[in-house]
Amino acid sequence: MTSIEPGTAVRRQARSARGWITAGWGVLGVLVVLLLWEAYKFLGPAEGVTIGAVDGESGSGVMILPRTHDRAMPHIWDMVGRLFEPTSGGSTPPLFVSVISAALVTLGIAAVGWLIGVLVGGLLGLLMQRWKLVEWGLLPWIVLSQIIPLIAFAPVVNAIGNQIDRSGTPWPQWLSVAVIASYLAFFPVAIGVLKGLEAPDRIHLDLMRSYAAGYWPTLRSLRLPASVPYLLPALRLAAANAVLGAVVAEVSIGMRGGIGRMLIQLAGQASSDPAAPWGPTFGSIVLGLIAAGSVAIIGLTLSRYRRGEATA
Amino acid sequence: MTTATTPIPVTDLAVKASGVGKIFPTKAGEVTALTDVELEVAAGEFVSLIGPSGCGKSTLLRLIADLDQATSGELTIFGKPARRARIDQDYGIAFQQSGLLPWRTVGDNIALPLELHRVGKAARAARVAELTELVGLTEFADRYPDQLSGGMQQRVAIARSLAARPKLLLMDEPFGALDEMTREYLQGELTRIAAETGAAVVFVTHSIPEAVFLSDRVVVMSPRPGRITDVIVTELGDVRDESLRETPAYFEKVTAVREALHGTKVERANER
Amino acid sequence: MTSTLPGWVRFAAPIGVGLLIVVAWTLYVEFGDAPRMLPSPAAIGNEFVLRWDIIWDDMLITGTNALIGLTVGSVLAVIFAGLAAAARPIDGMLAPLVAMLAVVPIVAITPILNTMFGASSQFGRQAVATIAAFIPVFVNVLRGLRQTRPVHRDLLRASAATGSQTFRFLTLPTALPYLMTGLRIASSLAVIAALVAEYFGGPSDGIGTSIATYAKSGRAALAWAYVVGGILIGLAFFLVTSLLERLVARRSPV
């Protein structure tokens, strides 16, 4: 029978109390942002603030604060209200329904992309830790890969995907989006796994060597548990990147049904329907939060390995 | 036991502690780190604090340095409260980790307390030159701490603690992280420097031979709660050189301190 | 156990891998069934040299946006990190906000920014680059400001240093390497953000819009030549900030 020391219960209460306090501050922060928005709308100049403008030359100068009229900056309650109005007039479902379904599509694709990225990144990390030569050869390219803009890859991957599809093996369009999302997701995982597997102390490695433990037992009993504090922030970052990659790829390829395309579409109609683009915008924000939150849940199950986590 | 005939005026005492206690509040309840400490350190006297972990020796040193505040009792440094003494820079301090700032050269590290107190550039340079010579590191004045060995870093820390010419040195196991040979060498240097500058020293240590070699008196402490249990007067004279380590008198005193540490003294020896 | 490989392998290995990639790529284009969107490296190089003038013009646009984003973002990040380190309430409000910002696709707000500031303004892209740079610099500087070691804090307290003296002599030098790390991370993020944001609207200049335009019109090699231009900007930012980081980190307290 296990007995819980009085200290543990007190500590757990203290931790959950801290959680509520953090959440409280967060809500306060969001409220402050909303207040600033409305305050600027109320107090700011109608045409915004431009520096360096030349009289008579329209479009000159740099606008550093936006125009405050309702077409450029809708009221917050207008944005919220718009969510409940039909998506594109008439009997189409309310905007928030369309946003949610588009967000779910993108989330699903991002999840697949994340999985692929985690597998590939994890494998690369393992290989790089195992053989120094592989690390030296591959790591610079892996780092460089993130400087290559996504926009370049999307059409290529889409074209290759179409080819594969035409030659017999089915390859739906969303899979191309997932592959592009995985391209952004694999990088933090590869780095995190590499750092994490190399994290154990010299003393612990010597200990395993004294037990004549080979590569695989050492990996299982020492390196993998020691890598958890590095792995979890990496997985979180990979999730956020996968969402980003999915959204950009959707726009790039022109995939229907996802939230990326909805963003562009509604932004195009912004002059007649200014509050509408905010719907998918909020949707993308929530999407990112859900993705990161899901990884945090995974983290909870691994809590006993997280003695000192490095923040991404 | 010493037998002092006339009481020494408070202002001449480097440290006077009466009834000093320290209680730490922790999540698991209160911890009594120190209780009812009575201690007097005369000017120019070398006193060691020795005892097992948790006996409060480092806590007592931190109270003297005003890095923590006592929860009970009275503590004066040269007749002033600890806070005043710190602001007036009446003491110099050396820690177990040398605590050198890694982005400053040896010379700049030694000069740090002087720089903080707006001593002029020329005066600083002169003092740094004096001190690097005192600790034997003149050629290393422009090096960085990571280019020095542990023993050399501690010598720089000692030089820094002397920068403002304090009459009291506080040292918290400064040789703890060093090997035995370097330790013995630095112990010799420390007694020489203390004698030359006439400073009083309060020295925290784990090592019985070190305490006996360096000090005029060894204050033995014990934990739970942290308190002084005994004071051994070493009576080994003012000149402490390497030959001392082999004399019978030295070994006797080491034994005396060891017995005091292991012994089950029920009564606290009140110290004079 | 790691074998002791000669030092030159460290440089030869990635170059070797790079050559392998180029060779495999060329062979795939020549003999494989490569799509038109993937031209050979030679063709890309050709276009790049031929069209250098227009590529450079667009590089300037995107590069300037990224630079403005990096600069403004870093300055704001340092200020806010300083505020957060000094005042608990500010830290409490900022921490969740920044954590949220870090996981959301920032480029998603570009269309809205273009609406707010007008479609002919570069502001939307600069704002996105600013936010992208702000996050890593803020996180790193805040961490750096909190990294002073207890023994150093004791030392300054024992030397009766005032608050501002402690800041100048200890907190600032301790935080500096963290600032440099943050800048290094922020540099690539700012470039990518400035580039990807172009894809979500705004003026019709910049590397990103050119890539998209030429890709759509089927001029694959030219589109890829623009990609090379984008990579060069990113590399330049990365190398400069990495160098700065190396210079400062030599005497870090860790």
Q: What is the pLDDT of residues A120-129, one digit of tens each?
A: 999 999 999 9
Contact C195 A151 (CB under 8 A): yes
* C-alpha dihedral (C95, C98, C99, C102), degrees to nearest 10: -160
Q: Which of C3, C103, C200 sits opposite A292 (nearest CB)?
A: C103
In chain B, % of residues over pLDDT 70: 93
Residue with tokens 């726009």: A251
State which H helix or E strand residue B152 sits in: helix B150-161
Give the range among A100-109, A263-272, C48-57 with minimum mean pLDDT. Answer: A263-272
* Largest interatomic CA distance in chain C: 76
The answer, yes or no, to whether residue B78 has pLDDT greater than 70, is yes
pLDDT digits (tens, 9 = 90+) for B211-270: 999 999 999 999 888 999 999 999 888 888 888 899 999 999 999 999 999 875 434 455
217-236 in A: which are within 8 Å (CB) of C? 236
User: Read out DSSP for B214-235?
Assistant: H-SEEEEEETTTTEEEEEEE--
| Segment C195-199 mean pLDDT | 87
Distance from CA of A307 to the nearest CA of B (A): 19
Assess A296–B contact: CB distance below 8 Å, yes or no: no
Distance from CA of A11 to the nearest CA of B (A): 9
* Amino acid A225: pLDDT: 85
Task: Name which of C151, C159, C162, C166 to mutate to probe chain B: the one with the most chain B Cβ atoms within 10 A of its Cβ.
Answer: C159
pTM attached to this predicted model: 0.80
The minimum CA-CA distance between C32 and chain A, rounded to whole Å, is 12
pLDDT at C133: 95
pLDDT surpassing 90 at residue A56: no
- Return the higher-pLDDT residue of A205 and C5: A205
Least CB-CB distance to C160: which of B87, B103, B115? B87
Q: Say if residue C41 is exposed, middle or buried (CB neighbours under 10 Å; 0-12, 13-18, 19+).
A: middle
Contact at CB, C92 and A28, closer than 8 angstroms: yes
pLDDT at B272: 42
Q: Is the ipTM of this complex over 0.95?
A: no
pLDDT for the residue numbered C129: 94
Pure H helices in chain C = 9-31, 41-50, 52-86, 88-103, 110-117, 123-145, 150-158, 163-166, 172-198, 207-216, 220-249
Average pLDDT value for residue range C148-156: 90
Average pLDDT for chain C: 87
What's the confidence (pLDDT) of residue B7? Answer: 67
CA distance B4 to A156: 94
Chains within contact range of chain C (3+ C-beta pairs < 8 Å): A, B
Nearest to C152 by CA among B68, B86, B101: B101
Cβ contacts of C118 on chain A, cutoff 8 Å:
59, 63, 67
Lowest average pLDDT, out of A202-216, A298-312, B132-146, C220-234, goes to A298-312
CB A197 within 8 A of CB A274: no
C25-30 average pLDDT score: 88
- Nearest residue on chain C to A48, judged by CA atoms? C117
pLDDT surpassing 50 at residue C142: yes
Average pLDDT of chain B to the nearest whole number: 88
| Among B67, B93, B102, beta carbon nearest to C253 | B102
The answer to whether A138 faces chain C, any CB pair under 8 Å, is yes
Q: How does residue C4 score in pLDDT terms, banded at 50, 70 and 90?
A: low
* Confidence at C67, pLDDT banded by 50, 70, 90: very high
Contacts of C109 in chain A (CB under 8 A): 281
Average pLDDT over residues A184-192: 93
Please report the pLDDT score of residue B267 as a whole number.
44
Taking 80 as the threshold, does the pLDDT of residue B111 lie above it? yes
Instruction: Please judge whether C160 and B97 are an interchain contact, meaning their C-beta atoms are less than 8 angstroms apart.
Output: no
The yes-or-no verdict on residue B24 having pLDDT over 80 is yes
Q: Which residues of C touch B99 (CB under 8 A)?
A: 149, 151-152, 154-155
pLDDT tops 60 at residue A301: yes
pLDDT of C249 > 50? The answer is yes
**Inter-chain contact A11–B28, Cβ cutoff 8 Å?**
no
Q: Say how far apart CA A234 and CA A186 lie, in whole Å.
A: 9
- Shortest distance, CA C249 to any CA of chain B (angstroms): 10
Q: Do B28 and A7 touch (CB under 8 A)?
A: yes
pLDDT score, position A158: 83
Higher pLDDT, C74 or A312: C74
Write down the mean pLDDT value for chain A. 83
Chain B residues within 8 A (CB-CB) of chain C? 65-67, 86-89, 91, 93, 95, 97, 99, 101-103, 112-113, 115-117, 144, 146
How large is the average pLDDT for residues B27-48? Answer: 91
Whether pLDDT at A172 is above 80:
yes
| Higher-confidence position of C179 and B238 | C179
